[in-house]
Structure 1
Amino acid sequence: MKKLTLSALSLAIASASICAQANEYVIEKFAKPSAQSVSLILDPAQEQFSGSTTITLEVLTKTKIIELNGEDYNAKLVKLSGDGQCTMTANALKTGKVQLICAHEINPGNYTLTIDFDAPFNKQSVGLYKTIDHGTPYLFTQFEMSDARRAFPVFDEPEYKIPFQLNITSPSNLKVFANTEAVKQESNNGQTTHQFATTKPLPSYLVAFAVGDFEQLPIKGMPIEGNIVTTKGKIALGDYAAKHMPAILNALEQYFGIPYVYSKLDSVAVPEFPFGAMENAGLVTYREDILLIDEAHANQNAKQSSVSVIAHELAHQWYGNLVTMKWWNDLWLNEAFASWMAAKVTHQLFPEFESNLSLPQNNVMDADARLSTKPIRKPIKTEADIMDGLGLAYSKGSAVLSMVENWIGEDAFQQGIQAYMQQFAFKNAEASDLWTALAKSSKQDVASVLKSFIEQSSFPLLNITQDKTKLTIKQTRFANAGVDAPAQLWTVPVVIKYGRGDEVKTAKILLNKPSQTVQLDFEPEWIYPDENAMGYYRWVLPTPQLNALLANAEKVLTPREKRAFISGSDALLSAGLLSGGDLLKTLGQFIDDAHPRVVGMALGYIESQKGVFIDESNEALWQKYISAKAQSAITKYGLVAVKNEDPSISKLRPQLVSLLAFEAQDPAIIATAKQQAQRYLADSTQVDPYLAGTYLKIAAFNGDAALLKAYQTAFETTQDPEKRTNLLVNLSYFKSAALQTEALNYTLGDKVTASDMRYVMGGNLYKKERKALFQQWVMDNYALVSKKLPPFVLPSLPNYLGGGCSQADLDKTTAFFAPKVEEVAGFSRSLSKLNESVTDCINLRTREVASVNSYLKTL
C-alpha cells in the first residue's frame, strides 16, 4: 500500500454476492455509520468545490483501520474524535477501498469521523457534475451506482442506510434543492448557507442536490409539497407532469397501502443526464425531454414515456427507497419491480396509451438465450458487473413478475407486496424476502418459480404435442441452432388457451418437470400456448397445429397475443425450428392485421431479417418485398394524418414513411421530408409530431453541409428539450463521409454533453460504409471518446462497432479492444457477448439464406 490523498484513488464499486464477508471489494466491517452530515461550498461558475463531512459511527472491533469510499478528492484533514482520537492517513487498495489508518489501535465504541476535502466538478455526467445550459452553469448529482463517493467521503454501499444532513453554501442569487426542505438559511457577503432537514434513513446513492438559477412550478393536489424544477426558460413545459403526477402518486399509495413517506417531492428536469431518470428520495431527477412536455403539440409517444417514467421513479419511493436492497445483486428487483409497477399504473390511468400491448420480454429474450448472458441476479463486484445486463434486469424481471402475478392472482400479489413493505420499511431486504411474502399471501411455491427464472439465464422452450384432448408439454432450454447449451429446468406457470367454434377455454399447469401432460375439456381446433402472452418462455407446435392457429389467428388472438406470436416466430428461426422463408410468410400474414401495432411489429421483424440476409445478390429482391409490404399498409392508412385518427395509426405512419424513403427511395417522400425538416427548424409545432423525427432523419440522409449546420444551430439554441433530442439523434444520419465525420467531430466539442454522446452513435450504424467510417473514427479518437463518455457507458463501446453479421467488423473490433481489457472493466465481457452474437448471426445467415431467397423470388 502507498500513502496518498483521496484524489489519487481509483475506486471500484464494492461487491457482495451471497457471502459479502468473503469479498475483497466490500468495505470491511471495522466500523459502521449511524448518521452523516455534509457541508459543501458550491459555485457553478467555478471548476472546483470544497467541503467537509462528519460521520457518526460505531467502531465494532479493536482496529487501527476504518474503511469507506471516496474518489477524486484532495483530503486536507482526516480526524477521528472520541476515546483515543487521532489524525488519520488515507490509503487505497487495488480493490478500490479506502483505508483510514490511525497510528494506534482504536477501541470499540462510538466516534465521530471528520474529513475536510476539495475536488473538481465531474465532467462525465456522474457524481457532482457541472453542466452549462444556454450559457448558464448549473450543478447536479447522479450517485447511482457508485458515484456518491465523488461528491464526499461516504460508506457508499446500499446496506449502510442512514440519515443524511446537508448544508450547502452557494451564491445568494442561486436556488438550491436537496432531498429535504431547507430549515434555515443564512446569508453573508453574497453567499447563502442552506441548512436542509435531516433525511429519513437513505443509502448514499439516493442522496441528491442541485444548484443553479432555477425556475419552479408548484404541483397542486399532492399530500405533500412538491415542485417541477427547470433551468431558465423552460418552466412552461412542466404543466403536463404537474397535472398528472398527483394521480400517479395516489395510485401508488393505494397499491402499496402506505402513504408516501418523505417530506416533499420535487422533480428536476436536468439538461445533462446520463439516464432517463433517478429516484432520489424527495428530489427525483429526469432527463429534460422526459419530464418537460409541450402538451398541445406532443405526440402520444412522448406523453406515454413521460407518464411511464414518472410512475417508475415514484414506484421506487417505496420499492428501493423505503425498502432498499442489501446489495447490488438485487438491483434487478428494484428496477424490475418499478418497471412492472409503472406499466400497471400507466395502463390504469391512461388506457388510451395501450401500454398493455408492450411486451418487455421481446426486448431481451434474444440476448438472454446466449451462453454468455448471466442471470439477472448474480454476484457483483464492479460497476461494469452492475451495468452488464441491466437492460435485461428491467425487461426480464418485470416480465417474470407479470407472469407470477398472472399465476397467483392480482389480489394475492398485492397482499404480498404490502406485507413485504410493512415488514421492511426503512430497512434493507433481499429478493428471498419478497418471495417469502408472496408465498405467504398466495399459499403457492413462488420461490421455485422466481428462483428458476432469476437465478438462471435463458428461458424454457415448450414443445407441445396434442393427442385429441391431451396435451404433452416438454421443456428444454431455448438455444440458438447449433449451440450446445447445458440442460436446465424451470418451474413454469403455463396457461394454454384453446378453442373450437365459438367456445374458448384455458388450461393451467405449473410445469416443474421435463415433461407433463394436461387434460383439455374438449378436442380443440386450435391451441395458443400462452394466454395473453404473460409467460417468459417460447413455445413450438407441430406443423398441423401451427397452421391451424395461423388460420384462426385473426379472430381468436388478441393484439397482444398476435404481437407475441410474431416475436416467438422470429425466435423459432434462430432456434432452427422454422425456416427463413416460412418466417417471412408468417410475418407477411400480419401486415394486413386490423391493429396497427400488430402491423408495425410485423414490419419491424421483416426489417430486422433484412439486416441479416441482405447482400448484393438479393438487395433488389428485399427492396421490392419491403416496399410492397409497406405500400399495403400505406394504402390502408395514408401518408398524412386525418383529424381524430386513432393514435395507433399515427404511431405506425413514421415506420411506413421511413420504409418508403430508405427502401423504395421514393423521391416524393424525400422531397416532403426535406421541406418538413426546414419547417421544423423554423417552428417545430407546425410539423406532425409523430413524423417530425422521421422527416429529420430522411432529410439528414439526403442533406448537405448547410442542413448539418442548421441542425447544429437549432440544437444549440432551442429551449424545447424534445426538439433538442430530435436534432441530436439525427445529426448521426448525414450520408456523405465528410458530413458524417463532421458530425462525429462535433460530439467531441463542448456543445454535446457526455450523457448525449450515445444519442449520436446509433445512426452511424446505418449502411455498411457508414458503419466502417464510424468504427475507424472511434478507434482514431479513442482517447477523447473514452475520456468523455460516462464511465458506465464505456464498457459497451465495442457493441456499437462490431455488432451485426460481419466477421471482419468483429475481428477489427476485437483486435482493437482486446489489449484494453485490463484497463476497462467490462471490455472482456462485451467482447465475449459480441463474439457470440455475431457468430450466431453468421450461422443463421449461412443456414437460411437459400430459404429466404427462394421465398423472395416467388413474390
Structure 2
Amino acid sequence: MIPLENLSYQLHCSNSNAPLKILSVLEEGGVEKGDNQKEKRAGKALSKARKSFNITTTADKMALGEVTNATSDGANSFSFLEMEGSKVIVVEPMPFGSEVALVVRFRGVVQEGDVGAIYSPYSSRGSSFEQPISCSFPILTHFEVALARWAFPCPDHPQYRICWQLKTLQLPSIYHTVVGNTSLVVSSSGQGSCVQYRGAPCGPLPAYVFAFAAFTGARALKRVSGSLEILRVGVFLQQPPSNLQLDGNMSAMVTCEGGERNTDSLDLHVMATPEGGVEEVTLKRVMHVVQEAVRLLQHFFHSPLPLLQCDVVTVLLAPTMPYLSGMEHHCCVFLDEAIFATKRAGAAEKGGKDKHTAEIEQVELIVHEIVHHWMGNAVGLPFAVKEGICMVLESVFADIILYGKPKRRVMDFRREKRVL
C-alpha cells in the first residue's frame, strides 16, 4: 500500500499542554542546483536536526519543504500538518521520556502480490468486495526489505528495534480471520460495515518482522492447533552438561530438583486457505516440525524461544509473493502454500523429484524461519550473516528431525577454547 493523496500528519506530545512547535519541514529530493539560498537553508536545518535526532541524510539530497496547511489545536495539544511528498518534520526539543503520538491519514491502494508492503495476491483478478467471492481474498503484509515505510512512517532499518502495537486495524466486516504477531481481538465496530481489531504490544523488533494478515470468503481457514513448550530462563542459568549431544533425544521437559515444571505452554496455530490445496495431514506435519525445531533450538542456543512479548505463535500457509518461500515475521511465520500443496507434490513426482526430497525442502524451510527468531529477529545481524547461519542450521536440524541425528557437525562455540 502506498499513499496516493490527502497525506496529513498529526503530532501530539503527552508531556506538554501546548502544541509542538515545528522548527522546519524538510522534503526529500527536489533541490535545484541554482537555488543556493534554498540549499543553505536546508543545510542549516539539517545540521540542527542531525545534532538533535542523529539524522544522517546528506544536505544535497534534501530541501526545505513547503507546508501547505499548518494549524494547531491548543485544547488537544496537536500540531497539524498537511503536505505532499516525503518529509522530515523537525520539532522543538521535548523533555526526556516524552511520548509522541503520530497519526497519519492518507488514501492509498492495496498492491498486487509482486510489490509488497500491504498487498493482496489476488488484487489483479478484479474481485470486488461488493460481489460474493469464493476465495479467501487475503490481505497480507511484507515489509522486507525497506517496505514498511510504504505503509506507515517508521525507523525502517534492521538496526532499529522498537516496540510495536497494532492498536486499531479497521477492515471490512467480511474479513473473519485476522492474525498478527500477537493475538488480535475485535475491539469495536468501525465506520460503516467495518470491524476494528486490536493487538497487544510486542517487541523490541525491527520493522520488517512486524506483520498481519486478514482473510475473507465463505469457508473458514483450515486450522490445526497445539502448543509449544517454552523453557523458562532459570533452566539456562547453569552451564550446559558436558555430554550434551545434538540429536533427536534432547529432552524438552526439564524439571528442577523439587520436580517443578520448568516450561511454559504457548498456543500454536497452523493455518491454510481452503483453496490452497494443503491437506490437514500436512498442517499437522508442519505443526510437528515447528514443535521439534523449537525444542531442539532452545537447547542449541541455550536460550528459550525469544517471544518478545508475543502471546501466540501462528504459522500461516498462504499465497505469498512469487519470489517468497517464507518470511520469519516474529511469532507469525508466513509460508508459501504452493510448496506444501498436494498438487505440487504430485507434480514433483512426475518431474522426477521424489516425495522425500520435497519433504526435506519443506522441513528445511520451516526450520530456517524458526531459527530467525533467534538470529535476526531477537539479535540483529547483517543480512548475509544471519541468512548464512540460518542456512547452515536449517540443514543440521532438518536432519535431526527427519533422521534423529545430524549428517554434519556444527561447532559448539560455547565450549571451544582458543589459546592466543
Deviations 1:479-527 (A, max 9, x none): xxxxxxxxxxxxxxxxxxxxxxxxxxxxxxxxxxxxxxxxxxxxxxxxx
SS at match of 1:442: coil
8 Å contact from structure 1 (residues 178, 208) kept in 2: yes
The secondary structure found in structure 2 opposite 1:163 is strand
CA deviations over 1:670-719 (Å, ceiling 9, x no partner): xxxxxxxxxxxxxxxxxxxxxxxxxxxxxxxxxxxxxxxxxxxxxxxxxx
Q: TM-score scaled to structure 1, two decimals?
A: 0.32
Aligned to 1:270: 318
1:139 matched residue in structure 2: 139
Check conservation: 2:225, 2:270, Cα contact below 8 A.
Answer: yes
Using a 3 Å threshold, how does the CA distance of structure 1 residues 258 and 294 change in structure 2: closer, same or farther? farther
SS at match of 2:284: helix
Contact (CA 8 Å) 2:28, 2:87: kept in 1 or not? no
Matches within 5 A, 1:85-164: 86-88=79-81, 98-101=86-89, 106-109=92-95, 110=98, 111-123=100-112, 124-132=114-122, 135-164=135-164
* Whole-Å separation in 2 of the counterparts to 1:444 and 1:90: 61
Contact 1:130–1:138 (CA under 8 A) maintained in structure 2: yes
Q: Which among 284, 298, 303 is matched to residue 258 of structure 1?
A: 303
Distance (whole Å) between structure 1 residues aligned to residue 315 and residue 103 of structure 2: 32
- Residue 128 of structure 2 is matched in structure 1 by none
2:418 matched to 1:443? yes
Rounded to whole Å, the distance in 2 between the matches of 1:252 and 1:293 is: 29
1:331 to 357, 378, 383: 383
Q: Please give the secondary structure, in 2, of the residue aligned with 1:176.
A: strand
The question of whether the paired residues in 1 share the 8 Å contact of 2:320 and 2:335 is answered with no
Paired with 1:337 and 1:276, the residues of 2 have a C-alpha distance of: 18
Q: Is 1:170 the equivalent of 2:171?
A: yes
Distance 1:78 1:289, change over 3 A: farther
Structure 2 Cα separation of the partners of residues 310 and 138 of structure 1? 21
Equivalent of 1:300 in 356, 365, 369: 356
Task: Answer yes or no: is 1:210 the counterpart of 2:213.
Answer: yes
The amino acid across from 1:317 in the alignment is H
Q: Which residue in 2 is equivalent to 1:285? A: 334
Task: Work out whether residues 241 and 293 of structure 1, in 8 Å CA contact, stay in contact via their aligned partners in 2.
Answer: no
Structure with the higher fraction of residues in helix conformation: 1
Return the structure number with greater strand share: 2
Provide closer, same or farther for how the CA distance between residues 216 and 345 of structure 1 changes in structure 2, counting only shifts above 3 A.
Answer: same
Q: Aligned partners of 2:7, 2:70: CA distance in 1, in Å?
A: 10
Instruction: Look up the equivalent residue of 2:356 and give its one-letter code.
Output: Q
Give me the whole-angstrom Cα distance separating, in 1, the residues matched to 2:93 and 2:417.
49
**Separation in 2 of the partners of 1:5 and 1:175?**
30
RMSD of aligned alpha carbons: 4.1
Question: 2: distance between equivalents of 1:10 and 1:306?
Answer: 43
Report how far residue 81 of structure 1 moved. 9.6
TM-score normalised by the chain length of structure 2 = 0.61
Letter aligned with residue 222 of structure 1: L
Between Structure 1 and Structure 2, whose CA radius of gyration is higher?
Answer: 1
Hey, what's the Cα distance between the residues in 1 that align with 2:117 and 2:303?
A: 31
Query: Residues of 2 paired with 1:60 and 1:135: CA distance?
Result: 50
Q: 1:81 and 1:343, CA in 2 relative to 1: closer, same or farther beyond 3 A? A: farther
1:511 corresponds to? none
Question: In 2, Cα distance between the equivalents of 1:210 and 1:291?
Answer: 19
Distance (Å, rounded) in 1 between the aligned partners of 2:285 and 2:48: 47
The CA distance in 2 between the partners of 1:259 and 1:81, in whole Å, is: 48
Structure 1 residue 288 displacement after superposition: 1.1
Partner residue, 1:350:
402
**Given the alignment, which residue of 367, 375, 387 partners 1:319?**
375
**Given the superposition, is the C-alpha separation of residues 60 and 192 from structure 1 closer, same or farther in structure 2, using an over 3 Å criterion?**
same
Aligned to 2:239: none
Please tell me the residue identity of whatever aligns with 1:177: V
Residue 260 of structure 1, CA deviation: 1.5
Structure 2: how far apart are the matches of 1:88 and 1:107?
18
SS of the equivalent of 2:202 reads coil
CA shift in 2, pair 1:86/1:335, >3 Å = same
Deviation, structure 1 residue 80: 9.5
> Aligned with 1:337: secondary structure?
helix
After TM superposition, list the pairs within 5 Å mapping 1:741-756 onto structure 2: none
Q: Structure 1 residues 113, 172: closer, same or farther in 2, change over 3 A?
A: closer
Matched residue pairs, number?
303
Q: Distance in 2 between matches of 1:141 and 1:29?
A: 35
Could you tell me whether the CA contact under 8 Å between 1:240 and 1:294 is conserved in 2?
no
- Structure 2 unaligned spans of 5+: 9-26, 30-42, 60-66, 126-133, 230-265, 350-354
Q: How far did residue 295 of structure 1 move?
A: 12
Counterpart residue identity of residue 357, structure 2: N
Partner secondary structure for residue 388 of structure 2: helix
Q: 1:318 to 1:309 in 2, by over 3 A?
A: same
Contact 2:7 2:82 (C-alpha < 8 Å) held by counterparts: no
Displacement over 6 Å in runs of 4+: 4-7, 75-84, 294-298
Equivalent position SS for 1:220: strand
Cα separation, partners in 2 of 1:139 and 1:275, compared to 1, 3 Å:
same
Instruction: After superposing the two structures, state which structure 1 stretch, 255-264 or 204-213, moved more.
Output: 255-264
Aligned to 1:219, what secondary structure does the other structure show?
strand
In structure 2, the partner of 1:779 is none
Q: 1:147 to 1:295 in 2, by over 3 A?
A: closer
**Aligned residue type for 1:238:** L
Deviation at residue 301 of structure 1 after TM alignment: 1.3
What letter matches 1:321 in structure 2? Answer: N
Classify the secondary structure of the residue corresponding to 1:154: coil
Matches within 5 A, 1:487-636: none
Name the CA distance, whole Å, in 1 between partners of 2:71 and 2:366.
Answer: 42
Q: In 2, distance between residues paired with 1:292 and 1:80?
A: 55
1:128–1:142: 8 Å Cα contact kept in structure 2? Answer: yes
Which of 216, 226, 230 aligns to 1:220? It is: 226
